[in-house]
Amino acid sequence: MKPKVVIRPAEPRDVVSIHGLILELAEYEKLLHEVNAEKDDLHRALFEGSPAAEALVVERAGEIIAFALFFHTYSTFEGRRGLYLEDLFVRVEHRGVGIGTALLRHLARLAVERDCARFEWSALDWNEPALRVYRGIGAKSMDEWQTFRLEGKALQEFAKAEVIK
C-alpha cells in the first residue's frame, strides 16, 4: 500500500522542490530553454509582500511529487474574480492515479470558496493526456479565443513607443 497523498498550500521551505518541478514541466513541454525563473524569483512571487501567486504541493511520504501554481484574475463581464491555473505538474512516475485530477478538484473548491466566477487554464494543443483529463472533468475548450503575448524586446519597444501623435 502506497503512503497517503496530501495536498497542502506551499510553504517557503518548498521553493526548491517547486522550482525543480517547474524545470521538469518545462522539459516535458519542450520549453526548458524558456525558463528564466530562479528559486529567489519564485520565493518573492509566492511569499513576499503582496504575493503574485499561490501554490499547492502534493506530498507522498514526505516527498513533493506534484504542484499547482495559480493566481486570481478579474472578469469585467461577471464582476467577480476568477482563478487562473498557471501550471500543474505531476512527476511521471506518479501519473495515472488521479493526482492531477485531485489538484484540479482542490483548486475548483478554492474557486467556489472564494466566490470566483470561473476557473481557467491553458493547455498545449499536443498534450493529449492532459486534454483528455480536462474534457473528462467537464472543462470546455475556448477555441474561439486566441492567446496573445508581448515579451522581451517586443514588449520593451512597444512600451516606450509613442502611441498618440
- 84-111 residue pLDDT tens: 999 999 999 999 999 999 999 999 999 9
What pLDDT is attached to residue 111?
98
| SS (HEC) of 22-39 | HHHHHHHCCCHHHCCCCH
In 17-145, at which residue ranges do the beta strands (DSSP E only) sit? 54-60, 63-75, 80-90, 118-121
Active site residue 134: yes
DSSP for residue 4: P
Whether 158 has a pLDDT exceeding 90, the answer reads: yes
In this prediction, residue 2 carries a pLDDT of: 72
Confirm if 16 and 39 have CB atoms less than 8 A apart. yes
Domains of the chain, each with CATH number or no CATH: 5-160 (3.40.630.30)
List the catalytic residue out of 28, 74, 84, 134: 134
Q: What percent of the chain has pLDDT over 70?
A: 100
Q: Is the pLDDT of residue 165 over 80?
A: no
On whether the pTM is more than 0.75, the answer is yes
Rounded to the nearest 10 degrees, what angle do helices 15-28 and 39-47 cross at?
120
Burial pattern 128-153, b for ≥16 Cβ within 10 A else e, equals: eeeeebbeeeebeeeeeeeeeeeeee
